[in-house]
Copies of this chain bind each other. A is one copy, B any other.
Amino acid sequence: MVELSLAEGIATTRSIRRYTDQAVTESQLATMMFLASRAPSGSNRQPFRFVVLRDGPSAVKARGLLADGASELWSQKSARGDFTATTKSSPTARMIASMEHYVDSFASVPVIVLPCLVRYREASPSEGASVYPAVQKLLLAARSLGLGGAMTMFHQPREIEIRQALNIPDNVAIAATVTLGHPEGQHGPVRRRPLSELVYEDRWQGSAEWAVDPSGTRFTGGPQG
């Protein structure tokens, strides 16, 4: 495997939701956990914890509950009509097909990791500052090993039962449900809005003339899956 550069890894890592049956090894898991835990946190408190779900007795219960949650959240989005595919080959149509496969096979993805936050202060929009950097490092770490992953909130609909199944204490927040595995098939480019919509100079909505995307960048507009 050719080693990916840091810049290329940051630029091209995207959500991977289709996995082969190939197992993720314990050595790969250890490497990913090590790299994820190099993330920063407030005062280096390291309040992040990772609950790894494979095929243990609690994992089997939690997987079923997470699959229920996946199905419920996806049904809600579909029912709201959040996504409308104009053609069968549009990025939106491909995303819908990928999400449906992901949700249907959720209980059997190779590995599920629940990054958790040991809460130490009141709820605020900045509370996630000490856990989501670690989640991002986890996803990049997967990519560095040739694996892929996706961050979801599929624990939310069945959170009470999942907490019971895994014995997660009240002062701990489940920050995300991350799936990991060997990617199946080809993956498209990372699509984002143009930098001119995301970057401001000197004040809110101040124009940053220098904030130009590299040539050949492909863009997306509104919400995706």
Taking the complex as formed, is A35 at the interface, i.e. its CB lies under 8 A from any CB of chain B?
yes
- Chain B proximity mask over A46-78: 1 for CB below 8 Å, otherwise 0: 101111111011110000000000000000010
Inter-chain contacts of A56 with B (CB < 8 A): 201-203, 206
Of B26, B150, B208, the contact of A52 (CB 8 Å cutoff): B208
Residues of A in contact, count (CB < 8 Å): 104
* A176 engages B126 (CB within 8 Å): yes
> What's the minimum C-beta distance from A193 to chain B, rounded to whole angstroms?
5
* A129 engages B176 (CB within 8 Å): yes
A sample of 28 inter-chain contacts (CB < 8 A) reads A4-B5, A5-B5, A7-B145, A10-B140, A10-B144, A12-B38, A14-B38, A29-B208, A29-B210, A29-B211, A30-B195, A30-B211, A33-B208, A38-B192, A40-B136, A43-B224, A45-B223, A46-B193, A50-B199, A52-B208, A58-B202, A58-B203, A125-B127, A125-B175, A126-B156, A126-B175, A128-B129, A167-B204
Give the B-binding residues of A (Cβ under 8 A): 3-15, 26-27, 29-31, 33-35, 37-40, 42-46, 48-54, 56-59, 77, 82, 116-117, 119, 123-129, 131-133, 135-137, 139-141, 143-145, 150-151, 153, 156, 165-169, 172-173, 175-176, 190-193, 195, 198-206, 208, 210-214, 217, 220, 222-225
